[in-house]
Each structure stands twice: as structure tokens, then as C-alpha cells.
Amino acid sequence: MANDASTVFDLVILGGGSGGYAAALRASQLGLDVALIEKNKLGGTCLHNGCIPTKALLHAGEIADAAREGAEFGVRSTFDGIDIAGVHAYKDGVVQGLYKGLQGLVASRKITYVEGEGRLSSPTSVDVNGQRYTGRHIVLATGSVPRSLPGLTIDGDRIISSDHALVLDRVPKSAIVLGGGVIGVEFASVWKSFGADVTIVEGLPHLVPVEDENSSKLLERAFRKRGIAFSLGSFFKGAEYTDDGVRVTLENGKTFEAEVLLVAIGRGPVSQGLGYEEAGVAMDRGFVPVDEYCRTNVPTISAVGDLIPTLQLAHVGFAEGILVAERLAGLSPVPIDYDGVPRVTYCHPEVASVGVTEARAKELYGADQVVTLKYNLAGNGKSKILKTAGEIKLVRVRDGAVVGVHMVGDRLGEQVGEAQLIYNWEALPAEVAQLIHAHPTQNEALGEAHLALAGKPLHSHD
């Protein structure tokens, strides 16, 4: 395996997704010599198969809904159907623009970018395209792929993953979505907006089960109103082809039939066959365990992003990549508080949160030390204008800081920025209440919720 001075670096990164390229950009900025290796496209899942294309589809769905509902606002509009080729052209245009910008950014930082399938060959080297790239340190950032279940084969035709759903050349007449988490409810929302009949199957008792139960119930209410069906509390048993689609059977005996089945039960790490175990890297169910500084058990190897068992979010990958780069450059980065990471599910209505749920707060602080407040968007002028329903729920420690903010409503994902400051800066309700929020905005609802929690409600009842 060839190796010369041009292939020796301070840092060699295997994987060019969110975590990998963030590590590369920050490390280069701090003066390290960096090689970034990616077998597919720079930007990884988020840019090409996740965050960006799905949100483009969701916005197209929002436009479709607005066309249908124009009369509610005194606008004479009609909905004439979905031009799926046009939708894909719009989506792909967004992705391509960001992709070109990212390529230019990496090139401008003088990062050595290597296209090819890399394999960890030692604790300090990666082999790719017949060349060995040696680094003082290695970062593993190989990401994730859609998961399936034993006995459930994803064929890309009737039984599909989110990757297939992103490029589907038609709007299915009907769809079963297996999994009521973020991926499942977002695609269910898109397809319903596009005109499909959708049923979500979730084995746990609620949709978006990692969110606060109140948020889950609000989303379920909104989905019922939209005509999105869902079955909760019974797990998948099997699937079989019918004459023109697929039939799903649950453990409780219920069956559902549709044109397509979307398997949206989460994403699994990409780690097999890449030399990790041979190089001595500890593994756990395919994930690479790390400490609070993203260090593996091998001193020269760190890991970030979907490969490690933390929140599978692009912005978490960014933060982990930056943390590793700063640590290797000799700085003293602060470990990530994963409870303080903002989380947004971009369905209609949106679900946004930061901090801990009410149930988790009671575990941490004791049930008698947890105080909650719900602020209904019915009291918010901008939400009335937008005709969106929902709530903001605050969770605080009695006589202490706000430890959870949970929001449901159209566009409330845009309010999670202030919510994360409130949580991460350990703000008291009275401190937020004294800040003036612009009127009329949805942001004002966050301010009013804190006014109420501070004991001086304005546009809400005591």
C-alpha cells in the first residue's frame, strides 16, 4: 500500500457527512493538515438523503395545502394536483446549490478531499483507492443507513426506505408508514399533503414517542383532523404482497393494505467491514461507543455523528465534529449537553423541543419539584392569522430554572432557537418574562408562556 509525504496528515477523517466535514472545516481553520475521505457525495445523509430534501418536500406539501385552503383566507385558489417531476426538480435544485457551495468551502480551506471507499487499516491509517493515508489522529464519521426488521425485505418498489421515498416517481394512492418517529411522521405529512391516503403503524403508545407526551397527543389530534390514520400500541408482525400492493399484519391481528409500505423505523450505523474491530475499536450493536469528548477506546481514534449512540441529528454531528477538531488542536471544548440540543420534527404541524420531558424531569428532580405550564396558541395573534393550533409547554424545577420547552404548531420549529437559550442558560421564568417579544409574532407565544409561568399572565387565563 503506497504511502508518501503527501499522504501524511495531522487528521484523517473517514466520512464526509455532517460530522466529518464539520471536523474537517474546523480542524483546517485551526491550522491542522486534514484529509477527508468520502465514498459517495460530500455532505452525506443530511444534504442528499435526509434533512434538506425531506424539508423541500414538506415545503412543497405546504404549498399544496395552501392552494387547497385559499378560500379560508379569501383567496380564490385551486389545487390541480402534484407535478412530481417538478417537485423533484425543485428539491434537487436546492440540494445541488448547497452541494456546490459545500464543495467550494472545503476546497477553499485547502482540505485534501479523497473520493473513494475508505477502510481503517490501523489506529493511525485509512486505505482508499490503493493509497494509504496516515494521520496523527483518525476520526470515524461513516454515518448511518435506513434500518429494517428481520424478515422484512426492502425491495425499493412496494416496500421502500426513506431513500426510495425521496426519489419516488409518483404520489402513491395509499401508503402504510411503519414507524411513528420523526422520519415516519414527516413522510406521512408530505404524502397526505400530496393527496395520498396514509396510515402510520407505531408499536409504542404514541407518535413521536421520544417527545413529551403532551406534544405526542397534540400531534395525534392534528393528524386525526388532517385525515392521517394511525395504529398505536401493537408491533409489526409481517408483510406480504397483494395483487396491487402490500398487506401489513400486526401482532394484535390487525391488517392494513396499501400501494406502498415505507419502513421508517430509524437508521443504523455504517460500521461493518470497515476495519474498526481489527484496529481494536470497541463496538456495541454496530455503534462505536465514545466518551464525552467523542474519544473511542483507541487513543488515536475519535468518532462522531450517526456512528456513535447519540442523537441522530445533523446539528449534533456538526457539534461533535467541531468538538473533536478543537480538542485535537489543543483547545478545551466543553462536552455537549445532549438534553440541550434543539429537536424539530417538520411535519404539519411542527413539533419542536429542547430540554427534558415532564416525565424525565420528575425522575431527575422528584415529582413534587416539577412545575409545568401550557400556553395555548389560541391566545397568540400570529398563530390565529396563520390558522394554526397548538401549545407551548414549559417544564421547570420549582422555584428554579426552565428545564424543558415543548412546542407544537406550524412554524414553531423557528422558535426553538430562543428555547435552547432559555434551557442552556438556565433561565428563570421571571428572567424571560421581563424580555419584550415582538407583537404579533409566534415568538411572542414563548414570551407569554414565561409570563404566565412567572405568575403574571397577559393573553392567557390564570
Write the pLDDT tens digit of every residue in 264-279: 999 999 999 999 999 9
Across residues 128-140, what is the average pLDDT? Answer: 96
Q: pLDDT tens for residues 395-421? A: 999 999 999 999 999 999 999 999 999
The per-residue pLDDT for 4 is 55
Can you give the pLDDT at residue 460? 79
Known catalytic residue at 439: yes
* Phi–psi pair at 206, nearest 5 degrees: -140, 155
Phi-psi region of 233 (alpha: psi -120 to 50; beta: other; left: phi over 0): left
Residue 385: pLDDT over 60 = yes
17-30 pLDDT per residue, tens? 999 999 999 999 99
Residue 207 pLDDT > 70, yes or no? yes
Res 2: pLDDT: 54
% residues pLDDT > 70 (the chain): 98
Distances (CA, A) of 342 to 198, 222, 417: 28, 22, 7
Mean pLDDT estimate for the chain: 96
- Determine the pLDDT at residue 7: 82
Select from 209, 201, 206 the least CA-distant residue to 152: 201
439, 450, 459, 461: the active-site residue = 439
Asked whether the predicted pLDDT for residue 1 surpasses 80, the reply is: no
316-350: per-residue pLDDT in tens?
999 999 999 999 999 999 999 999 999 999 999 99
Tell me: pLDDT of 6 over 80: no
